[in-house]
Chains A and B, each alone.
Chain A
Amino acid sequence: MNLGTRKILDRSFTALGIGSIVVMALALLIVITPIIYNGLGAVFFKGTIEHRKLLYNEFHRGDGAELEREIAEVAVYRDQAYRMLADFELELEGMDPEKAREYRMQYGPVKTALQTLLGPPPGDDSAILTRFRYGQTRWEKAEEKLHALLYESKWDYSDPDVMAKEYFVRRAESFEGTKLAPMFGFVEKNAEKMLLPRFTLYWGFLTDSSIDAHIFGGIWPEIQGTFFLAIGAMLFAFPLGVVAAIYFTEYAKDGVFTSMLRSANSTLAGVPSIVFGLFGLAFFINTLNVSESKSVLAGALTLAIMILPTIIRAAEEAILAVPKTYKEASLGLGSTKWNTIVTVILPAALPGIITGGVISLGRAAGETAPIIFTAAVSVGSAIGIADVLSSPTPALSWNIYNLASEHEAAAEIRHVQYGMVLALVSIVLLLNLSAVLLRARISKKLKG
């Protein structure tokens, strides 16, 4: 080969390596950026008067007098819109039946669309679900709903080779000449005056319970459930893991038995997470009966088994990283082996052990598969510390799946889903970040 070609090959090899690192960084960026951007949208957004009304009615938060004034302010415009509807309904009565039926068919969606935008007309208390009692609470959603009110969507199937294309027809055109026609222009012009959008900082998203299956409100029960599960798993796994690590590093003699134990450890680390869920169901719930059915305890035990190998490995590394001289000095002063471990080695290794624990805590908080059958429910209220032995809990990771894939109005509550994902990712990443910082400090300290 030419020298030039070899050089080109060498450079492109370098480029390939650097490119793959760049791709990984980009992947992280591509995944994280929309989650952060949209997740923050759950807390910072333009809230409408409906949002303030909801906060006041359901959570008793906000300024009542101010709200009264605003309701009076928007009522002026809303009443006009609802009057136009009423007028049109009267007009329908007087029309000839054939024509009236045609109009009625198109009028139905208009009425629903207006109600989802502004809420039910004053005096109508028939709605049972909370979601039908209020209009749009977020301005960007209200803009979508306004579009749905003004335009009817139709599909173009004319070209069989490509997928059908959506196009929009103004609804006003089909009501030309009736008393409803001016309503569309009126609502379009006065939408802001009807909803009074205002920049909102909704901290309650983190601390409120959810209302009506997460259509409104916050994610506190999920955050709390995640916390219970992760902490519970740590309570079981951490002491066990540390003691096992002490055995492996200080007492175990090289032999078939020890290598079998180590091999069991790496086997446990490699078991697919869903199998832990199966085991938790079959062993903790169906065999041991730690609880009637799903419970925080069963979930925490399952998660504990899952993170045990990680903790053992991290603690082992931390103990091995303690300089030999510490141990020798202690033994040289006449202290026993156990004494040396407890008073010298463990304190020196503790920061490293805790680092491993923090990382495992993050892993336990983020895992979903093991808690599906053992601890998680899709909708539930926050549980007290007394109930952890017997009752299941909602948890961030499981509810993200649930809201994104199985919720009846999944597309409507994207902001809640993003907010939940952001909450989970930031909990896990913060834990990991603190572990990384801790480790950096330790390595500096051990270097001296």
Chain B
Amino acid sequence: MSGDVNRDSNRSGAFVVSEGRRKMQKAARTAGESILLLIASFVAIVVLFIFYFVAVDAVPYFQQRGFAEFFTSSNWYPAGDPGEFGALAIIYGTGMVTLGSALLAVPMGIAAAVCLSDILPFSVRQYAKPVIEMLAAIPSVAFGFFALVILAPLLQTSGGPMLMWVWWILAGPFLLLAVIVGSDLLTAGIEEPVRRKRYATMLQVLFTLLAFLVLYVVGSQLNGMQILTGTNALNVSIILSFMALPTIVSVAEDSLQSVGRELREGSYALGATRAETLVKTVLPAASSGILAAVILGIMRSLGETMVVWMASGNSSHIPDPWYNYLEAVRTLTATIAGDMGEADQVTGSARYHVLFAMGLLLLVISFISNLISERIVVRQRKILSGQ
């Protein structure tokens, strides 16, 4: 409609337009804009609909059974009559794999983001970024398949030795570093060069021995460990951390990039090394953006379905002891995906509604964390732009 009006106005010699036509044009423009606005607010309508329809099917469960059972009991027997719907173990399992993946992904993601933005030369960064994007593009079911068919049997047959090597390779360099720094710090106060040297050497030898002892003892403990089931919380955490990494890296890198050059240059001018500049100046300045990255990454692993469904073992009990990552767990997403097939959709049984209650819980968590991360990003942008 607005197109026609435009064509007319062009023909009439552009600027001299009669009063009636100008009114028509204006009306058309407002009509067109309100259509655009309607389409743009479609997303908001969808969000409201999602909340409404998930909540509507979740409410009957809470009406029938109350809140207490859902959050305090860990007896999950939905097939029984009337059935027990304690979701505590499932919520716990969700928290466990989310925390596990965050523990793996957050340090690695921040290190990778720092490396991308400050350490690698542009020629390498050009190729490193697409690799990370590719990791994000791989469908979750392919990761789930990998976890189930390749990683789980591997953990089951040679999990102990694998854990030992991972421990040695990861912890070895860090302990060595701790020895160097620790002895340096302890001898820092001593003035005389000779005494200081002897003292430092003694400390270094002592620390090194201690470090190797710790490395060896923990390593041999891990080596002797038997993993009874390969589909466990550890397996899921590893794969989920792969999936959360790209999100964390790209958001954290953006926020590191937005830290101004003058902060870095000021730090270098004071004689700080690159590591000191990054740790003491750049990272604190970008900290809120990094926090947002971490939240988004955690949300990615919290909301993931296929990997946890395929590789978590789907056992709804709290592991014993509570921190045992080598036991099968169950998560909210996997429960929804796995149980909906058996839940009676037509008559709307309690089993059907409890799955919607879980969906609502996920929805609320994701909504709140999204709000927080958004707030953080806005605030950081304001601070960095100096307002």
Contacts and interface: CB of A to CB of B under 8 A. Distances in A.
Contacts of A287: 53
B115 A20 contact: yes
A97 B345 CA distance: 57
B112 A14 contact: no
A31 interface: yes
B242 A270 contact: no
A1 B272 CA distance: 12
Given A267-B370, A425-B142, A432-B134, A20 B53 contact: no
A270 B184 contact: no
A424 B273 contact: no
A14 B366 CA distance: 34
Contacts of B10: 334
Interface string B27-44: 001001100110111111
B43 A367 contact: no
Given A266-B370, A428-B139, A338 B359 contact: no
B270 interface: no
Interface string A1-24: 110011111101110111111011
B138 A425 contact: yes
Interface residues of A, number: 92
Contact of B44 (A19, A261, A432): A261
A94 B376 CA distance: 87
A6 B276 contact: yes
B116 to A, nearest CB: 7
B32 A35 contact: no
Contacts of B130: 436
Contacts of B145: 35, 400-401, 404, 417, 421
Interface stretch (A82-90, A196-204, A274-282): A274-282
B175 interface: no
B135 A28 contact: yes
A28 B131 contact: yes
A308 B41 CA distance: 12
A312 interface: yes
Given A1-B184, A13-B278, A261-B44, A283 B32 contact: no
B236 interface: no
Given A266-B374, A425-B139, A336 B6 contact: yes
Given A18-B119, A267-B47, A278-B336, A251 B310 contact: no
Contacts of B43: 244, 261, 264-265, 268, 308-309, 312
B340 interface: yes
A392 B145 CA distance: 23
Given A23-B108, A247-B39, A368-B140, A272 B333 contact: yes
Give the residue among B10, B116, B181, B302 with the most A Cβ atoms within 10 A.
B181
Nearest to B50: A279
Contacts of A17: 111-112, 114-115, 118-120
A385 interface: no
B180 A267 contact: no
A6 B255 CA distance: 26
Nearest to B183: A5
A248 interface: yes
Interface in A67-121: none
A401 B310 contact: yes
Contacts of B150: 34
Interface string B177-193: 10011001100100000
A163 interface: yes
Interface of A: 1-2, 5-10, 12-14, 16-21, 23-25, 27-28, 31-32, 34-35, 162-163, 240, 243-244, 246-248, 251-252, 260-261, 263-268, 270-279, 281-283, 286-287, 305, 308-309, 312, 334, 336, 338-339, 359, 362-363, 365-369, 372-373, 397-398, 400-401, 404-405, 414, 417, 421, 424-425, 428-429, 432, 436
7 contacts: A9-B181, A272-B302, A274-B362, A282-B54, A308-B46, A421-B145, A436-B133
Given A271-B50, A429-B138, 8 more contacts: A12-B275, A14-B274, A20-B108, A162-B226, A266-B370, A267-B371, A369-B337, A436-B133
